[in-house]
Amino acid sequence: MKWSVVLLAIFGFSECLHRIPLYKGKSAREALKEKGLLEEFMKNHPYNPSIKFNPALAKITNEPLTNDYDLDYYGIISIGTPPQFFKVIFDTGSSNLWVPSIYCKSIACANHTKFNPAQSSTFRSTSQDISIEYGTGAMSGILGYDTVTIGSIVDTNQMFGLSEDEPGSTFYYAEFDGILGLAYPSISASDATPVFDNMMNKGLITQDLFSFYLSRNSETGSIVTFGGIDPAYYTGNIQWIPVTSEDYWQITVQTIKINGKVVACESGCAAIVDTGTSALVGDPSSINNIMSLVGIHMDQNGQYSVNCNNIGSMPDVTFVINGAEFPLPASAYITQTSFDCTSGFDPTGDDGWILGDVFIREWYTIFDRANNMVGLAKAV
């Protein structure tokens, strides 16, 4: 696939390999239990395969997300009856739901929670295969149907992938188990109906949209809201931007400015808004020009060298979209740790721009399927 969640591996994992231990982290079930939420989750979401959905029961649900070093954001879902818990990336840059399965012998699967269809009374198998290639990393396996629960939303008969092979080491180092794609069905592998499309088709949500608030500096509080917009997470007005291609969440950036001067996208450029990409990605020429103008230069190793003492004097980088300006201050596009400072821009976007988490942390983002619009408002 052209754009993807695992582009974050390009931008982030080289930086975070030394931070993520080579042992298995907490499972989703353990994470819920540690927070005292497991018993409540099980009590509030009993599984009944005969349940009939009624549009009157449509709702809004908030799904908390864990911020993993500002590199990715994952939440906990369950699949099956009784529930099996998984940590997944809610990714607007892909459209399939998949998790590791007991059939997978890859090293990445050995390091993560695996779905066991034999332990779910509501699982239904298919004869279909699935294969997905991301920016880095890939998976292949089989498709099945089961009940998927996200927050208070119970989605029965949801098609998802059970990975049998996850080659390489990309997913081994990830804290998340799988990926839940939130892009359009046109890019769904094996024509599997995406989770959000099932939510809409079954009347499980009050509005056919979802919205993201992403925290910074590994802080808590990140959230994805299905079926609504939460004014607690933004200030000012929402600026609505039309989607230009119903596959990824693609929009048009009119120009990019620094100190009022156009420095990139002089004639407009396509960009996708992608919660699964950690960086701000553009073509090498544009990114190098932007870096030079904000005072960042490449070192002898080909890496952008950032002087932490200069952050306060660096200018905003402003994206002009649909007539509105969306500035990013240096505090947004520079990440400062106790070790060093790094740029949030990445010059690998030969095919267009990706407005990843660096952008979304600054701008509360709404993905509106009913009107095929992206909404942006200043995040709190």
Burial profile 145-172: b = 16 or more Cβ within 10 angstroms, e = fewer: bbbbbbbbbbbbebbbbbbbebeebbbb
The pLDDT of residue 19: 25
- Tens-digit pLDDT profile for residues 112-162: 999 999 999 999 999 999 999 987 789 999 999 999 999 999 999 999 999
- State how far the Cα of 87 lies from the Cα of 77, in Å rounded to an integer: 7
Q: What is the mean pLDDT of the chain?
A: 88
Is there a cis peptide before residue 167, judged by omega within 30 degrees of 0?
no
* Of 68, 70, 72, 91, catalytic: 91
Residue 357 is among the residues annotated as catalytic for this protein: no
Q: What is the pLDDT of residue 65?
A: 98
3-class secondary-structure state, position 94: coil
> Quick check: 218 and 336 in contact, CB under 8 A?
no
Q: What is the pLDDT of residue 23?
A: 32
Average pLDDT of span 168-197: 96
Residues in the chain: 380
Distance linking the first and last C-alpha atoms of the chain: 33
Residue with tokens 């030969």: 350
CB 126, CB 142: distance < 8 Å = yes
Residue 56's identity, in one-letter code, is A
In the DSSP assignment, the letter for residue 297 is: E
How confident is the model over 185-232, as pLDDT tens digits? Answer: 999 999 999 999 999 999 999 999 999 999 999 999 999 999 999 999
Q: Got the DSSP string for 127-142?
A: EEEEEEE-SS-EEEEE
Give the lowest-confidence range in 89-93, 182-186, 335-339.
335-339
With tokens 């818990």, the residue in question is: 85
- β-pair partners for 241: 374
What pLDDT band is residue 356 in, cutting at 50, 70 and 90? very high
Q: Which residues contact 231 (CB under 8 A, 6 or more apart)?
A: none
Check if the beta carbon of residue 74 is closer than 8 Å to that of residue 176.
yes
Task: Look at 81-95, 99-113, 261-275, 336-350 and tell me which has the smallest mean pLDDT.
Answer: 336-350
User: What amino acid is encoded at 105 in this protein?
Assistant: K
Nearest to 248 by CA among 354, 122, 378: 354
How far is Cα 196 from Cα 185, in angstroms, rounded to an integer?
9
For residue 123, give the nearest of 144, 96, 98, 148 by alpha carbon. Answer: 144
Neighbours of 369 (CB within 10 A): 20
Residue 274 falls in the annotated catalytic set:
yes
Beta bridge partners of 224: 63, 212
CB-CB contact of 346 with 278 (8 Å):
no
Q: What is the pLDDT of residue 31?
A: 62
Residue 229: name the closest of 251, 203, 207 by CA.
207
Residue in 208, 274, 283, 316 annotated catalytic = 274
Q: pTM for this structure?
A: 0.87
Structural domains of the chain ordered from first start:
7-226 (2.40.70.10), 231-379 (2.40.70.10)
Radius of gyration from C-alpha coordinates of the chain: 20
> Do the Cβ atoms of 368 and 216 come closer than 8 Å?
no
pLDDT (average), residues 268-284 = 96
pLDDT tens per residue, range 309-354: 999 999 999 999 999 999 999 999 999 888 889 999 999 888 789 9
Query: Could you tell me the pLDDT band of residue 29, with boundaries at 50, 70 and 90?
Result: low
Residue 321: predicted pLDDT: 98
Alpha carbons 217 and 107: distance in angstroms, whole number? 30
